[in-house]
Structure 1
Amino acid sequence: MNGQERLAPTAAEIEALARASLRRIPAPFADHLAGVVLLVEEWADDETLDALGIEDPYDLTGLYAGRPIGEKSAFDTGALPDRIHLYRRAILDEWVANGDDLATLVHHIVVHEVGHHFGLSDDDMHALEAAAG
């Protein structure tokens, strides 16, 4: 190695980018994210991929697991906390393939998963992105 090589960003580095993205989410939305758990994993597991009908683990960079805010009830008990999963290897593959800034890519994924927390569908988010610009 000649000192020019760089190792791929670690899970901790991606988590730091994701936490910074969460801090950028404005009130009143941020107020509803306090209990959401952020997890950075290498890949989505086979059970998750199968449930989503995804064959290639590189096709899933993030996932919201939980009940959207609008579906929650005061009578809900015993549920796992809401979670945002980020899949490091798929994120890195997309980063390299598209040449995007890693912080920008992670922010996009985090905002997308936060959108699911608020009950937005993928189609809703694509329409919002298209309208924004």
Structure 2
Amino acid sequence: MNEDRFDELVNEAVDGLPEEFAARLENVDVVTAAAPSARTLREVGLKTGGTLLGLYRGVPQTRRTTRYGNVPPDQIVIYRKPILAQARAECADGDLDAAVRALVRTTVLHEVGHHFGLSEADLRRIDYA
């Protein structure tokens, strides 16, 4: 799958967010990257070669105070190569596009959850982990 198609699927996932999420997204950009750097993996506690599908960087809404302002946008990064690798491994029926679409959607929802202040445990509880 090429970068353009992957970007389309990420945009589709963002555009398809439930209205209650989309209406509350504030000061956040969603971008794609090929793969996380070794430094990024270390920062999140993974070893080089570890799997990271997406990453939220910023101040969750639950931690913003009245002094929050004049800051660059938070960022959600969706990583193409790890998602493609996992989708290929999980793709039982050969429909890679559908497998990537589903994995991208779950990853976007997961990272948006962090933007709203949800922990990994919270996300597992609602099946977005």
Question: Which letter maps to 1:101?
Answer: A
* Counterpart-to-counterpart distance in 1, 2:50 and 2:86: 8
Judge conservation of contact 1:41–1:86 (CA < 8 Å) in 2: yes
Partner of 2:103: 105
* Counterpart-to-counterpart distance in 2, 1:46 and 1:77: 31
Unaligned ranges ≥5, structure 1:
1-8
TM-score (norm 1): 0.82
How many matched pairs? Answer: 122
Judge conservation of contact 1:63–1:84 (CA < 8 Å) in 2: yes
1:24-82 deviation per Cα after TM superposition (whole angstroms, max 9, x unaligned): 22223211225321111111112211111111445101011111111112312443311
TM-score (norm 2): 0.84
Judge conservation of contact 1:60–1:87 (CA < 8 Å) in 2: yes
Question: Which letter maps to 1:111?
Answer: L
Matched, 1:85 2:77: yes
Partner of 1:72: 64
Shift of 1:22: 1.4
Matched, 1:39 2:31: yes
The structure with the largest alpha-carbon Rg is: 1
Question: Which letter maps to 1:10?
Answer: N
Summarize the Cα distance change of 1:60–1:75 in structure 2 as closer, same or farther, 3 Å threshold: same
Please identify runs of 4+ aligned residues in structure 1 that moved more than 3 A: none
Unaligned ranges ≥5, structure 2:
92-97
